[in-house]
Structure 1
Amino acid sequence: MKYYIIFLLSIGLSSCSKFLELKPDQNMEIPSTLADCELLLNDFTAMNASYAVMPIMMGEEFYFHTEDWQTIVDMDERMGYIWSDEPVIGSLNWQGPYKTIYVCNQIFAIYNKLSEQDKSSEQGKQILGNAHFFRAFAYQQLLELYTLPYDPVTASNELGLPLKLTPDVVPAEGRASLAATYDQVVQDYKEAISLLKPTSIAKSRPTKGAAQAGLSRLYLDMHDYENAYLYADSAWNMQPTLIEYNTLDPYDEMAIPKNNQEIYFTALTGYSESISPFSNRINPDLIDLYETDDLRKSIYFQDNDFDPGTYGYKTNYDQSYIGTFIGLTTSEILLIRSEAAARTGKSPIALAGINLLRQHRFAPENFQEVHWGNAILLQEILKERRKELVFRGRRWVDVKRLNQEAATQRTLTRTVDGQSYQLAPGSLKFAALIPQLVTQLNPTIEQNKR
């Protein structure tokens, strides 16, 4: 892209502090207009498709046999699968979201120098709203991988992320607290909600509903169920649509349509050969959750010819073999709304939401309403999350937050080459190690404890 400038944020590869005055090529125009901002936002790879794949690798949705694990080329992924304490060599899981943040900060700097007429224009407001959304979403992805689960009692004393809010390439000084980092994401999402319109030019660009959905996802991780419900309800009312799975072809390897009506916002991880379709085996306890007539089983999975009796994951919400879809959808928001409702004494709303989702996941002749009582309602909703949000980057985050509650704690276990590896509730390993290159080049960034 014409205005692209190579950048590694927060790891100290440059000490320059006046980015907008730099010209790597004297023939290159410095970005300075709303049109330039649009071009920056149109970089799909930088803004939508460079998020961390490691949360999916470290989750519990699939497993490898020893011989398959040993063939994983990316050593960070191989070690991440067993939650190893080996130093992380590659930096893409960190660098990708921080590059998105950098572009957003560049847009803010351009916007601040615009005329008042351009700032107050509809285009100006939408660009500003986009920048707030993308920065919030990118920091949220980093929080999910590199910090411990949020606890409102201890968050002010826990390590968050390096907060970089300006476009210069001076490294951030240290890490903000976990509370301060979450507060920044909340603030950015709320700014986006106030500026964005209900519709956008493409699924790669956020809407007001997408910002509400992102904030509801964040509040769920913060155990703020009142706000999680409030924003999920608002997002759902902005886009109350679900795919009728009985209209999809279960024999299609990519049965879920691209840019479908459930998507608020499209985001993808970077490429990983390890978790590409058909390259792994789905955990049997996940497969066992599906009822016989649940269409999700045939839409999401297919028999592995290379290993009869096992299943491989075959589709995603972007029809992509390059990255895994981790964006925001109405099905996820309906689940957040139902869970938050169940946790805040709104059981009828919780149950109605789950029945609406299930109605769209069964053929009409096979659908039966569920009437779960309060004693099992939350437990069953959490099962629906597992069944619905497969390979969407949610399981790792769910295990992190649910392991803070005795009733929903779960120890993850993997066996490789005869050796068993476990990830127990309360483990410091729920905050992945920051890449070695980052901490070496910016020693103010404290490594996660082990």
Structure 2
Amino acid sequence: MKSHIKLMILTVFSLIVGCEGFLDEKPNKSILVPETIEEFEAIIDNYDRLNTSPVLSFMFADDYWVANTTWDNFAPWQQNAYKWSDDPYLPNESTLDFSVMYRKIFSANVILDKINQEPDWDQSRMEHLKARALFWRAHGYFELAALFLPIPEKAGDSQEIRIPFRTTAEFGVQKDMEEASAVFDLILEDLKGALPNLPEATTYPTQPSYYSAHALLARINLYLGNYEQAIVHANKVLEGNFELLDYNDLDLGVTFPMSLFNSETILFTNMISQSTVSRNNVAFVDSTLVKSYQDNDLRAALIFENNTGTSSFKGNYTGRQDVFTGIALDEIYLILAESNFRLGNSDIAKDYLKELMENRYQDLDILDDWNLELDFILEERRKSLLFRGQRWMDLKRLSVHDSYITTLKREVNGEMVSFETKPENFIAKVPQRQYDLQ
């Protein structure tokens, strides 16, 4: 038993120092085995491994298009994903996107396994450590579920669609595959279990807090169509020390007007760097989408970089070009607006949306008799969360909860490829090359 634990922990430390495909390789036995709580805290505070999101959801989304010369230089899986293949990875292809989510889960499980041994640590610190591990395990499984599982108990759900499921990092103990309902049960259970022992404030928003757990629960419940719960958790976030940026006060003359870790940032994560998929000379924004921003909409000047005949994404809450996939206060306002409207609370929805828009538009004049519609809320969400990693999940949940069916199209080397937004089409296949967890 102890030898299994030691091998497990050695693998985590080889994970931390970095190697793609870490679960395929033998651990380096010369690496020090952690024993102290400080060493285990270092595992869960490893920003480079935990605060990253997969590229695949971005590749699938219709936030962008690329030139044929760029597509020709994509890796095979990127080419397949750009053409909406539900099985983009080649049989022997290294699946960094898939592994980055399981590394997060594996790191969390290592800590939870150690805590289950009841080490002689300070109780308060140990409870805080456990809460952070539960948070990141839920975060990793939610990102997996959004790509590889249907929305539970909704159209397209099937017990035959499963993903590798691990609640322990001990080698050889667990090799389960689980369906959507079981995975989401664990996600919600983990986050609710983490809440009592997460701090209200952290040194940096890269670390889980009480409010970021509520924010993640708000995002997840919106995705699931649980609008009452989405409101409950989003309202909790508003109790925190966060403040909407007034885009009227930002300096549009600088390259990146929105600073890193600004007052809206509740949880900071970003898309893992893989090739240059989202760079401004690679990913161009559809001209129709660009034109949908009104002249007095300050988001356009902040988000877009105008090239010769094209527009590209300039960057936002990362303080540079990297894609922010975390949760910011504007998303919480949009969750409150949409969820309240869906539940018939149109006046409340209007108030939240007005407050957000007043900080996004120049000289905005909204009349009291403004007739709010769901399509308008969703359009504002689309504009605010562009290049934020949420578009694929939005298309998926709208196809399930609202039967919203449309056809996305891309031209690749003279060939027109299309994707019909039916619920069953949003389920990517688990890569054939999986990492051996024993």
Give the TM-score of the pair, scaled to structure 2: 0.89
Partner of 2:290: 287
Residue 106 in structure 1 maps to residue 116 in structure 2: no
Q: Which amino acid aligns with 1:336?
A: I
Residue 237 in structure 1 maps to residue 239 in structure 2: yes
Partner of 1:33: 36
Q: Deviations over 1:218-246 (max 9, x none)?
A: 11111111111111111122244111111
Q: Structure 1's 193 and 155: CA in aligned 2 closer, same or farther, altered over 3 A?
A: farther
| Secondary structure of the structure 2 residue equivalent to 1:203 | coil
- Cα separation, 2, equivalents of 1:79 and 1:370: 47
| Secondary structure of the structure 2 residue equivalent to 1:4 | helix
- Cα separation, 2, equivalents of 1:150 and 1:232: 22
Partner of 1:329: 328
Q: Which amino acid aligns with 1:112?
A: N
Q: Structure 1's 156 and 236: CA in aligned 2 closer, same or farther, altered over 3 A?
A: farther
CA positional deviation for 1:249: 2.0
CA positional deviation for 1:418: 1.8
- 1:79–1:86 contact (8 Å) kept in structure 2: yes
Partner of 1:180: 182
Partner of 2:212: 210
Q: Structure 1's 430 and 244: CA in aligned 2 closer, same or farther, altered over 3 A?
A: same
Partner of 1:422: 418
Q: Which amino acid aligns with 1:414?
A: R
- Cα separation, 1, equivalents of 2:244 and 2:214: 17
CA positional deviation for 1:161: 2.5
Q: Structure 1's 293 and 12: CA in aligned 2 closer, same or farther, altered over 3 A?
A: closer
Q: Structure 1's 129 and 427: CA in aligned 2 closer, same or farther, altered over 3 A?
A: closer
Residue 124 in structure 1 maps to residue 131 in structure 2: no
- Cα separation, 1, equivalents of 2:416 and 2:190: 42
Q: Deviations over 1:268-288 (max 9, x none)?
A: 121131212332210123212
Q: Which amino acid aligns with 1:317?
A: Y
| Secondary structure of the structure 2 residue equivalent to 1:194 | helix
CA positional deviation for 1:248: 1.5
- 2:78–2:88 contact (8 Å) kept in structure 1: no
- Cα separation, 1, equivalents of 2:20 and 2:208: 24
- Cα separation, 2, equivalents of 1:113 and 1:211: 26
| Secondary structure of the structure 1 residue equivalent to 2:305 | strand
Give the TM-score of the pair, scaled to structure 1: 0.86
Between 167-176 and 126-135, the greater mean CA deviation after superposition = 167-176
CA positional deviation for 1:367: 1.7
Q: Which amino acid aligns with 1:333?
A: I
- 2:234–2:336 contact (8 Å) kept in structure 1: yes
Q: Structure 1's 360 and 249: CA in aligned 2 closer, same or farther, altered over 3 A?
A: same
1:246 aligns with one of 242, 248, 257: 248
- Cα separation, 2, equivalents of 1:427 and 1:414: 20
- Cα separation, 2, equivalents of 1:287 and 1:126: 44
- 1:338–1:354 contact (8 Å) kept in structure 2: yes
CA RMSD of aligned residues (A): 2.7
Q: Which amino acid aligns with 1:362?
A: Y
Q: Deviations over 1:69-99 (max 9, x none)?
A: 2232x22112101113454423111100100
- 1:83–1:429 contact (8 Å) kept in structure 2: no
| Secondary structure of the structure 2 residue equivalent to 1:413 | strand
Partner of 1:92: 96
- 2:337–2:350 contact (8 Å) kept in structure 1: yes
Partner of 2:318: 318
Residue 368 in structure 1 maps to residue 368 in structure 2: no
- Cα separation, 2, equivalents of 1:418 and 1:403: 29
Q: Which amino acid aligns with 2:99?
A: Q
- Cα separation, 1, equivalents of 2:148 and 2:179: 13
CA positional deviation for 1:303: 0.6
| Secondary structure of the structure 2 residue equivalent to 1:56 | helix
Residue 413 in structure 1 maps to residue 403 in structure 2: no
CA positional deviation for 1:180: 0.6
- 2:163–2:430 contact (8 Å) kept in structure 1: no
Q: Which amino acid aligns with 2:102?
A: Y
Partner of 1:352: 351
Q: Which amino acid aligns with 1:311?
A: S
Partner of 2:4: none
CA positional deviation for 1:9: 11
Q: Aligned ranges for residues 374-385 of structure 1 at < 5 Å?
A: 376-385=372-381
CA positional deviation for 1:101: 0.8
Q: Which amino acid aligns with 1:48?
A: N
Q: Deviations over 1:104-139 (max 9, x none)?
A: 111112223345662x32x22221111111111111
- Cα separation, 1, equivalents of 2:77 and 2:369: 42
- 1:9–1:98 contact (8 Å) kept in structure 2: no
Q: Structure 1's 406 and 166: CA in aligned 2 closer, same or farther, altered over 3 A?
A: closer
| Secondary structure of the structure 2 residue equivalent to 1:63 | coil
Q: Structure 1's 420 and 367: CA in aligned 2 closer, same or farther, altered over 3 A?
A: same
CA positional deviation for 1:59: 0.4
Q: Which amino acid aligns with 2:208?
A: P
Partner of 2:13: 4
CA positional deviation for 1:31: 1.9
- Cα separation, 2, equivalents of 1:177 and 1:349: 36
Q: Aligned ranges for residues 263-282 of structure 1 at < 5 Å?
A: 263-272=265-274, 273-282=276-285
- 2:166–2:176 contact (8 Å) kept in structure 1: no
Q: Deviations over 1:8-52 (max 9, x none)?
A: 9999747x9xxxxx8712xx4422222112211231111113x21
Name structure 2 gaps, 5 residues minimum: 1-8
Q: Structure 1's 251 and 291: CA in aligned 2 closer, same or farther, altered over 3 A?
A: same
- Cα separation, 1, equivalents of 2:120 and 2:111: 16
Q: Structure 1's 372 and 130: CA in aligned 2 closer, same or farther, altered over 3 A?
A: farther
**Identity level (%):** 25
- Cα separation, 1, equivalents of 2:405 and 2:292: 18
Q: Which amino acid aligns with 1:4?
A: F
- 1:277–1:312 contact (8 Å) kept in structure 2: yes
- Cα separation, 2, equivalents of 1:150 and 1:426: 15
Q: Structure 1's 86 and 45: CA in aligned 2 closer, same or farther, altered over 3 A?
A: closer
CA positional deviation for 1:310: 1.6
